[in-house]
Amino acid sequence: MNRLSSDTVIVQKALTANVAQMLRNSFTSIGAAVMLFSLSPSLAALSLCLIPPVALGGIGFGRYVRKQQGRVQEELGRTLEVAGELLSHLRTVRQFASEGREVERFAGAVERSFEQGRRVGVAQAAFDGAVYLAVDLSLLAVLFYGGTLVQSGAMSAGDLTAFLMYSLYAGGNLAGLSSVYAELMKGVGASRRIIEVADRVPELPLRLQAPSHGASLSSSLSSSSPATSALEHSSDFLSTSVFLPSVAGEVEFRGVEFAYP
Protein backbone atom coordinates (compact mmCIF):
# COMPACT_ATOMS: atom_id res chain seq x y z
CA MET A 1 0.00 0.00 0.00
CA ASN A 2 2.90 2.34 0.74
CA ARG A 3 4.30 1.77 -2.74
CA LEU A 4 0.93 2.48 -4.31
CA SER A 5 0.49 5.71 -2.35
CA SER A 6 3.70 7.32 -1.15
CA ASP A 7 6.04 6.08 -3.90
CA THR A 8 3.71 7.09 -6.71
CA VAL A 9 3.47 10.63 -5.29
CA ILE A 10 7.28 10.89 -5.23
CA VAL A 11 7.53 9.69 -8.83
CA GLN A 12 4.75 12.09 -9.89
CA LYS A 13 6.58 15.02 -8.32
CA ALA A 14 9.86 13.99 -9.92
CA LEU A 15 8.30 13.79 -13.40
CA THR A 16 6.34 17.06 -13.21
CA ALA A 17 7.46 19.89 -10.96
CA ASN A 18 11.07 18.74 -10.64
CA VAL A 19 11.54 18.28 -14.37
CA ALA A 20 10.11 21.73 -15.08
CA GLN A 21 12.34 23.30 -12.43
CA MET A 22 15.38 21.45 -13.74
CA LEU A 23 14.79 22.73 -17.29
CA ARG A 24 14.27 26.29 -16.05
CA ASN A 25 17.42 26.26 -13.92
CA SER A 26 19.48 24.64 -16.67
CA PHE A 27 18.52 27.11 -19.40
CA THR A 28 18.96 30.09 -17.08
CA SER A 29 22.40 28.85 -16.00
CA ILE A 30 23.50 28.28 -19.59
CA GLY A 31 22.30 31.73 -20.67
CA ALA A 32 24.03 33.40 -17.73
CA ALA A 33 27.26 31.48 -18.46
CA VAL A 34 27.21 32.66 -22.08
CA MET A 35 26.86 36.27 -20.93
CA LEU A 36 29.68 35.81 -18.42
CA PHE A 37 32.09 34.59 -21.09
CA SER A 38 31.06 37.41 -23.40
CA LEU A 39 31.95 39.98 -20.72
CA SER A 40 35.23 38.46 -19.49
CA PRO A 41 36.42 34.94 -20.40
CA SER A 42 39.10 34.85 -17.69
CA LEU A 43 36.75 36.02 -14.97
CA ALA A 44 34.07 33.59 -16.18
CA ALA A 45 36.52 30.69 -16.04
CA LEU A 46 37.37 31.65 -12.46
CA SER A 47 33.73 31.86 -11.40
CA LEU A 48 32.82 28.52 -12.99
CA CYS A 49 35.90 26.55 -11.93
CA LEU A 50 34.03 25.05 -8.98
CA ILE A 51 31.39 23.40 -11.16
CA PRO A 52 33.36 20.19 -11.96
CA PRO A 53 34.05 19.22 -8.32
CA VAL A 54 30.47 20.04 -7.36
CA ALA A 55 29.20 17.92 -10.26
CA LEU A 56 31.36 14.96 -9.21
CA GLY A 57 30.13 15.31 -5.64
CA GLY A 58 26.57 15.46 -6.92
CA ILE A 59 26.95 12.14 -8.74
CA GLY A 60 28.09 10.39 -5.58
CA PHE A 61 25.42 12.11 -3.53
CA GLY A 62 22.74 11.08 -6.02
CA ARG A 63 23.72 7.43 -5.72
CA TYR A 64 23.59 7.67 -1.94
CA VAL A 65 20.17 9.32 -1.92
CA ARG A 66 18.77 6.82 -4.41
CA LYS A 67 19.82 3.92 -2.20
CA GLN A 68 18.80 5.50 1.09
CA GLN A 69 15.43 6.67 -0.24
CA GLY A 70 14.51 3.07 -0.96
CA ARG A 71 15.27 2.22 2.66
CA VAL A 72 13.20 5.18 3.85
CA GLN A 73 10.22 3.96 1.89
CA GLU A 74 10.71 0.43 3.17
CA GLU A 75 10.66 1.61 6.78
CA LEU A 76 7.64 3.80 6.09
CA GLY A 77 5.89 0.82 4.54
CA ARG A 78 6.56 -1.26 7.66
CA THR A 79 5.14 1.53 9.80
CA LEU A 80 1.94 1.62 7.76
CA GLU A 81 1.81 -2.16 7.85
CA VAL A 82 1.89 -2.18 11.65
CA ALA A 83 -0.73 0.58 11.85
CA GLY A 84 -3.07 -1.18 9.44
CA GLU A 85 -2.61 -4.43 11.32
CA LEU A 86 -3.53 -2.84 14.64
CA LEU A 87 -6.52 -0.91 13.35
CA SER A 88 -7.99 -3.88 11.50
CA HIS A 89 -7.56 -6.18 14.53
CA LEU A 90 -8.31 -3.68 17.25
CA ARG A 91 -10.91 -5.93 18.85
CA THR A 92 -8.37 -8.72 19.26
CA VAL A 93 -5.85 -6.31 20.77
CA ARG A 94 -8.43 -5.15 23.32
CA GLN A 95 -9.45 -8.72 24.18
CA PHE A 96 -5.87 -9.64 25.06
CA ALA A 97 -5.15 -6.28 26.79
CA SER A 98 -2.15 -5.77 24.48
CA GLU A 99 -2.52 -2.03 23.94
CA GLY A 100 0.76 -1.15 25.64
CA ARG A 101 2.79 -3.74 23.77
CA GLU A 102 1.29 -2.80 20.41
CA VAL A 103 1.87 0.91 21.06
CA GLU A 104 5.52 0.13 21.72
CA ARG A 105 5.73 -1.91 18.51
CA PHE A 106 4.23 0.93 16.48
CA ALA A 107 6.47 3.49 18.20
CA GLY A 108 9.52 1.39 17.33
CA ALA A 109 8.49 1.26 13.66
CA VAL A 110 7.95 5.04 13.61
CA GLU A 111 11.33 5.63 15.25
CA ARG A 112 13.15 3.47 12.67
CA SER A 113 11.37 5.26 9.83
CA PHE A 114 12.23 8.65 11.31
CA GLU A 115 15.88 7.73 11.83
CA GLN A 116 16.25 6.58 8.22
CA GLY A 117 14.59 9.74 6.94
CA ARG A 118 16.78 11.88 9.18
CA ARG A 119 19.91 10.41 7.61
CA VAL A 120 18.72 11.36 4.14
CA GLY A 121 17.75 14.84 5.34
CA VAL A 122 21.13 15.46 6.98
CA ALA A 123 22.97 14.26 3.87
CA GLN A 124 20.89 16.49 1.59
CA ALA A 125 21.35 19.48 3.91
CA ALA A 126 25.13 18.93 3.91
CA PHE A 127 25.24 18.67 0.13
CA ASP A 128 23.08 21.76 -0.39
CA GLY A 129 25.21 23.66 2.10
CA ALA A 130 28.39 22.65 0.28
CA VAL A 131 26.93 23.79 -3.05
CA TYR A 132 25.87 27.19 -1.71
CA LEU A 133 29.27 27.59 -0.01
CA ALA A 134 30.98 26.90 -3.33
CA VAL A 135 28.78 29.51 -5.02
CA ASP A 136 29.62 32.11 -2.36
CA LEU A 137 33.34 31.36 -2.61
CA SER A 138 33.10 31.77 -6.37
CA LEU A 139 31.44 35.18 -5.96
CA LEU A 140 34.15 36.28 -3.52
CA ALA A 141 36.83 35.21 -5.97
CA VAL A 142 35.07 37.15 -8.75
CA LEU A 143 34.89 40.27 -6.57
CA PHE A 144 38.59 40.08 -5.70
CA TYR A 145 39.86 39.35 -9.22
CA GLY A 146 37.34 41.68 -10.84
CA GLY A 147 38.43 44.49 -8.53
CA THR A 148 42.02 44.08 -9.70
CA LEU A 149 40.86 44.19 -13.34
CA VAL A 150 38.95 47.42 -12.70
CA GLN A 151 41.96 48.99 -11.00
CA SER A 152 44.20 48.05 -13.91
CA GLY A 153 41.70 49.41 -16.45
CA ALA A 154 41.18 46.04 -18.14
CA MET A 155 37.50 46.10 -17.15
CA SER A 156 35.03 48.86 -16.36
CA ALA A 157 33.05 49.09 -13.14
CA GLY A 158 29.79 48.76 -15.10
CA ASP A 159 30.96 45.51 -16.73
CA LEU A 160 31.97 44.16 -13.33
CA THR A 161 28.54 45.01 -11.93
CA ALA A 162 26.83 43.28 -14.86
CA PHE A 163 29.16 40.31 -14.43
CA LEU A 164 28.21 40.01 -10.77
CA MET A 165 24.51 40.07 -11.65
CA TYR A 166 24.94 37.30 -14.20
CA SER A 167 27.04 35.39 -11.66
CA LEU A 168 24.19 35.57 -9.17
CA TYR A 169 21.80 34.21 -11.80
CA ALA A 170 24.15 31.38 -12.69
CA GLY A 171 25.09 30.55 -9.11
CA GLY A 172 21.54 30.59 -7.78
CA ASN A 173 20.25 28.34 -10.53
CA LEU A 174 23.19 25.95 -10.22
CA ALA A 175 22.52 25.68 -6.50
CA GLY A 176 18.85 25.05 -7.27
CA LEU A 177 19.85 22.21 -9.59
CA SER A 178 21.43 20.37 -6.65
CA SER A 179 18.10 20.20 -4.83
CA VAL A 180 16.28 19.17 -7.99
CA TYR A 181 18.85 16.45 -8.63
CA ALA A 182 18.33 15.05 -5.13
CA GLU A 183 14.55 14.97 -5.66
CA LEU A 184 15.00 13.24 -9.01
CA MET A 185 17.17 10.57 -7.37
CA LYS A 186 14.43 10.05 -4.79
CA GLY A 187 12.01 9.54 -7.67
CA VAL A 188 14.34 6.98 -9.22
CA GLY A 189 14.52 5.08 -5.93
CA ALA A 190 10.74 5.14 -5.54
CA SER A 191 10.16 4.06 -9.15
CA ARG A 192 12.34 0.99 -8.64
CA ARG A 193 10.11 -0.11 -5.78
CA ILE A 194 7.01 0.33 -7.93
CA ILE A 195 8.59 -1.61 -10.79
CA GLU A 196 9.45 -4.42 -8.37
CA VAL A 197 5.76 -4.79 -7.57
CA ALA A 198 4.72 -4.63 -11.23
CA ASP A 199 7.29 -7.25 -12.31
CA ARG A 200 6.81 -9.63 -9.41
CA VAL A 201 5.79 -13.14 -10.48
CA PRO A 202 3.31 -14.81 -8.10
CA GLU A 203 4.61 -17.91 -6.37
CA LEU A 204 1.24 -19.53 -6.97
CA PRO A 205 -0.45 -19.34 -10.38
CA LEU A 206 -3.34 -16.93 -10.81
CA ARG A 207 -6.81 -17.92 -12.06
CA LEU A 208 -5.80 -21.58 -12.16
CA GLN A 209 -8.69 -23.76 -13.29
CA ALA A 210 -8.95 -27.47 -12.63
CA PRO A 211 -8.66 -29.46 -15.88
CA SER A 212 -11.60 -31.27 -17.25
CA HIS A 213 -11.92 -35.04 -16.71
CA GLY A 214 -9.20 -36.87 -18.61
CA ALA A 215 -7.33 -33.71 -19.61
CA SER A 216 -3.82 -32.84 -18.47
CA LEU A 217 -2.94 -29.72 -16.57
CA SER A 218 -0.70 -28.37 -19.32
CA SER A 219 -3.41 -28.68 -21.95
CA SER A 220 -5.92 -26.82 -19.77
CA LEU A 221 -3.82 -23.61 -19.82
CA SER A 222 -3.33 -21.53 -22.93
CA SER A 223 0.13 -20.22 -23.79
CA SER A 224 -1.01 -16.61 -23.37
CA SER A 225 -2.64 -17.16 -19.99
CA PRO A 226 -1.18 -15.22 -17.03
CA ALA A 227 -1.16 -18.50 -15.13
CA THR A 228 1.25 -20.04 -17.63
CA SER A 229 4.12 -17.69 -16.76
CA ALA A 230 3.39 -18.22 -13.09
CA LEU A 231 3.44 -22.01 -13.50
CA GLU A 232 6.89 -21.81 -15.04
CA HIS A 233 8.13 -20.43 -11.71
CA SER A 234 6.06 -22.81 -9.58
CA SER A 235 7.46 -26.29 -10.14
CA ASP A 236 6.89 -27.17 -6.48
CA PHE A 237 3.23 -26.28 -6.82
CA LEU A 238 2.81 -28.53 -9.84
CA SER A 239 4.60 -31.46 -8.22
CA THR A 240 2.31 -31.42 -5.18
CA SER A 241 -1.03 -30.52 -6.82
CA VAL A 242 -3.64 -33.13 -7.47
CA PHE A 243 -6.83 -32.32 -9.37
CA LEU A 244 -9.89 -34.50 -8.83
CA PRO A 245 -12.70 -34.40 -11.37
CA SER A 246 -15.24 -35.24 -8.69
CA VAL A 247 -15.42 -36.36 -5.08
CA ALA A 248 -17.97 -38.88 -3.84
CA GLY A 249 -18.25 -40.40 -0.41
CA GLU A 250 -16.36 -39.54 2.73
CA VAL A 251 -13.23 -37.41 2.86
CA GLU A 252 -10.51 -38.69 5.17
CA PHE A 253 -7.28 -36.95 6.23
CA ARG A 254 -4.19 -39.08 6.87
CA GLY A 255 -0.73 -37.96 7.86
CA VAL A 256 -1.75 -34.28 8.01
CA GLU A 257 0.30 -32.12 10.37
CA PHE A 258 -0.25 -28.54 11.46
CA ALA A 259 1.92 -26.24 13.54
CA TYR A 260 2.50 -22.57 14.11
CA PRO A 261 5.79 -21.24 12.66
Q: Does 235 have pLDDT greater than 80?
A: no
- Which of 16-25, 93-102, 214-223 is the least confident region? 214-223
The burial class, CB within 10 Å (0-12 / 13-18 / 19+), for 142 is buried
Give residue 19's pLDDT. 84
Kindly indicate the confidence band of residue 205, based on its pLDDT and cuts at 50, 70 and 90: low
Q: What is the pTM of this model?
A: 0.54
By the 8 A CB rule, do 113 and 73 touch?
no
What's the pLDDT score for residue 218?
44
Whether residues 250 and 156 share a domain: the answer is: no
**Domain final residue, candidates 155, 182, 199:** 199
Mean pLDDT of 138-162: 81
pLDDT at 152: 81
CA distances from 58 to 26, 53, 123, 177, 210 (A): 15, 8, 11, 10, 56
* Claim to verify: residue 155 and residue 240 sit in the same structural domain: no
Lowest mean pLDDT among 28-37, 42-51, 79-88, 107-116: 42-51
Going by C-beta distance under 8 Å and a sequence separation of 6 or more, which residues neighbour residue 248? none
Q: How many domains does the chain have?
A: 2
Q: Which amino acid is at 109?
A: A
Pair 163, 254 in one domain: no
Q: What is the mean pLDDT of residues 52-80?
A: 78
Domain region containing 225: 204-261
User: Which are the contacts of 177, defined by CB distance < 8 A and separation ≥ 6?
Assistant: 22, 25, 26, 29
Please give the share of the chain, as a percent, with pLDDT higher than 90.
0
Report the SS3 class of residue 96. coil
